[in-house]
Structure 1
Amino acid sequence: MTDAAQTPPRHSRRGLVVPFAIVGVLLAAWTGWWFWLADQIETRLAVHEQALSEAGWRVSHQPVSVGGWPFRTRVAFPAAEIVAPSGHGVSAPELVAEANAWNPGHWVVIAPDGLTLSRAGKGRIDIGGDGARMSVSHLRDRFPDLRAELIRPTFTPRPDAEPFPIASAEHVQFEMRPHLTDGVAATDELDVLFRLIEARGRPGGPVEGAARSGRLSMEIEATIEQASRLRGVDSAGVFANWTAADGRFTGVRGRLLAGESSARISSDALSARADGRLEGQLALTAERPGEAMAGLAGSRSGAVNRVAAAGAAAAASAQGDRPMELVLRFRDGRTWLGPFALAPAPKLF
């Protein structure tokens, strides 16, 4: 028998090496992309912080850390504080922003250890609960999509702060996105949605009074005109510039539930005075509004005109349990129900 016949054939190992080589090249390319993206994020953060500072904002935090390789980008801001020129702001022991490395235009920001809300001239409120998060996407568009939510939040004013009307809630949600007309984003309009689910008022406050020690829920949606004017560098904040440009809330629709009382609300347009108080009127289709008015009359809030609330309660009670068509007017800085001035008009800034 010949030697050639006795020697087994040799198989090439190239087939085993090639897949590993391809994976190695792809991993090296992806790692390069990830580190380039992380560097870009840090650079853009520095640019945005400088721009905010020049616009009158105060942004501070301890050194930022960037991680999340290989599939995420995670940016941590320890001891973060962001304060607008108006004096309103938020701070947190840590803010964490995350995005998928393949989709850096969609970010989710969480506050794992809670937030502190700063109210200009009114003090600070600590916000606890089961979660605080915000997501923002379409960052390259004129207006991004934004969604913020608080899950079972609690609101605790600091000892030197003014009272806050809500002590806790099951859910708070805010959404903002470009207004669409025939499927196309409008030039200068934004749609906004606000939900407050099963809020409990502070003892003796107007929310507890209106809900008769029950819970308050509301859902309100509207379109903001002149949305590009929502910016400003003075102490009055973004709404002052918007108000001066004749900005309005249009297509206002919503529903309120306060204890046993409920109402559907609508308004074609609402604006704001130079001092930030709302102007305009809301149409309400209310069920059992007398109970909410009576609760307001019995509250210990200095912002509520208890005599006027008692008069409105008596007038509403005369209608029994039948649904009532009512109109709330925001005029002269006050909230009016017929001839009764119930409380100051809501204030934007």
Structure 2
Amino acid sequence: MRRLISGLVVLAALASGWWALYAWSTGNVVAAWFADRAEDGWLANYSDVSVGGFPAQFTTRIEGLELADPDTGWVWTAPTLTLEQRVFRPDHLRAIWPSEQALASPRERLTIRSEAIRSDLDVQPAARFALDASDTELRGVEISSTEGWSMRLPEGRLTGQRVEGEDDTYDVAFRASGLVPPAPMAAVLDPAGVLPEAIGEVVYTARMAFDRPWDLRAIEDRRPQITRLDLDEAAASWGAMLFRATGALDVDGQGQPDGEISVRAENWRAMVDLAVNAGALPEQLQSSVEGVLGMVAGLSGSPENIDATLAFRDGRVFLGPIPLGPAPRLVLR
């Protein structure tokens, strides 16, 4: 019995020493990372870092965060960021975001308030924390801008899973309900106020390939860029309007997509009205567009619904043989 007790005491001492060594090294790693960013020309500040959670986990708390990327002009500030790791699972992180943080660009500053934003991350510590899987919960999020608008998201979830055998391809899913768009936007899109305040549901599921894995370089250097998009579903419902899309696109080095997306639009005339109200469609073209879309809807078998295919090629978007305009560039800043 005496030997057993002595062995347990020695084991506890070794475990405590290892925990203390890891906690000490974590503080050094954080300090070194911020110093490296400053050498690269960033504004990179924090006021304090502490590690707790003994003995079952490591809880790293970084306070007074300020990061500014000189290449993009983005600035992120937060009073605190908490990272949790279980002692026997260093490849699993939980990031707990503060109830208020700010994200600024050269154009505007966004204040982000939330009841909860938590991210569970499976990473590869030996490969610059390359992402294997992520699951982010969003509750009670409100974003307000210095440009005078605000929006609310009661509930949302974003997940990503690296495809087995692929370093840079991920299955991505986003689902949100009750999204309240900015009031100025809603007033422009729906001046008569006939639509519900909130967009009922937004769904996005896709397999996305990038030009390199998502790891620490996505913060330090640049964001990985999309090279392939296999869209399983992108859908949104707002009142009687429903939009759904599916298809596949290849994306070149300049962000130009090439491929086809099949779309279904229910109550499409209301969507045209929204486009005109928003200024996305000139009012003088409304009748012409409605004529073309009415013909497409007739081919679909229902005058109020459209089933059509959008083709992306040579930097433009086509509805059948009809050019609709320049294609959006898929570039992550």
Fold shared by both chains (TM-score > 0.5): yes
Q: Which residue of 1 aligns with 2:13?
A: 28
SS in 2 for 1:186: coil
Task: Return the match for 1:222 from 199, 207, 217.
Answer: 207
Identity %: 18
Q: Is 1:171 matched with 2:155?
A: yes
Correspondence for 1:326 among 293, 308, 314:
308
Query: Does 1:98 find its partner at 2:84?
Result: yes
Alpha-carbon displacement from aligned partner over 1:60-118 (angstroms, at most 9, x marks no partner): 21121111111121111112123333123432111111111222221111123222122
| Farther off after superposition, 201-210 or 40-49 | 201-210
User: Which residue does 1:45 correspond to in 2?
Assistant: 30
Distance 1:310 1:203 in 2: 28
Residue pair 1:212, 1:292 contacting (<8 A) in 2 also: no
Looking at secondary structure, tell me which structure has more strand per residue: 2
Distance (whole Å) between structure 2 residues aligned to residue 233 and residue 69 of structure 1: 29
**What displacement does 1:205 show?**
1.3
Q: Find out whether 1:305 has 2:305 as its counterpart.
A: no
Residues 233 and 93 of structure 1: is their aligned pair in 2 closer, same or farther, counting only changes over 3 Å?
closer
* 38-47 vs 202-211, greater mean Cα deviation: 202-211
Residues of 2 paired with 1:138 and 1:229: CA distance? 10
The offset of 1:316, in angstroms, is 4.3
C-alpha change, 1:313 and 1:58, in structure 2 (3 Å) is farther
Name the count of aligned residue pairs. 314
1:75 equivalent to 2:84? Answer: no
**Which residue of 1 is the match for residue 189 of structure 2?**
209
Is contact 2:64-2:80 (8 Å) kept? yes
**Which among 252, 255, 262 is matched to residue 231 of structure 2?**
252
CA contact (8 A) 1:114 1:132 kept: no
- Structure 2 CA distance, aligned partners of 1:38 and 1:310? 67
In structure 2, C-alpha distance between the alignment counterparts of 1:305 and 1:155, rounded to whole Å: 27
Give SS of 1:205's match: helix
Matches of 2:183 and 2:207 in 1, distance apart? 31
Relative distance call for 1:273 and 1:19 in structure 2 (3 A) is: closer
**Aligned ranges for residues 137-176 of structure 1 at < 5 Å?**
137-140=122-125, 142=127, 143-145=130-132, 146-158=134-146, 161=147, 163=149, 167-176=151-160
1:291 alignment partner, one of 253, 270, 286: 270
Q: Distance in 2 between matches of 1:204 and 1:72?
A: 46
Range moving further from structure 2, 191-200 or 225-234: 225-234
SS at match of 1:258: strand
**1:206-262 residue CA offsets vs partner (Å, 9 max, x unmatched):** 698389344151323232232249958999x435xx4xxxx5132122131231222
SS of alignment partner, residue 32 of structure 1 = helix
Q: 2:176 maps to which residue?
A: 196
Residue equivalent to 1:238: 223
* Distance in 1, Cα, partners of 2:41 & 2:286: 41
**Quick one: distance in 2 between partners of 1:129 and 1:110?**
11
The answer to whether residue 131 in structure 2 is matched with residue 132 in structure 1 is no
SS in 1 for 2:273: helix
| Secondary structure of the corresponding residue to residue 70 of structure 1 | coil
Structure 2 equivalent of residue 116 of structure 1: 102
2:243 to 263, 277, 302: 263
Unaligned regions of 5+ residues in structure 2, if any?
A: none
Q: Kindly provide the CA deviation profile for residues 24-64 of structure 1, in whole angstroms up to 9, marking residues without a partner as x.
A: 33322221111011122122223333444445544321121
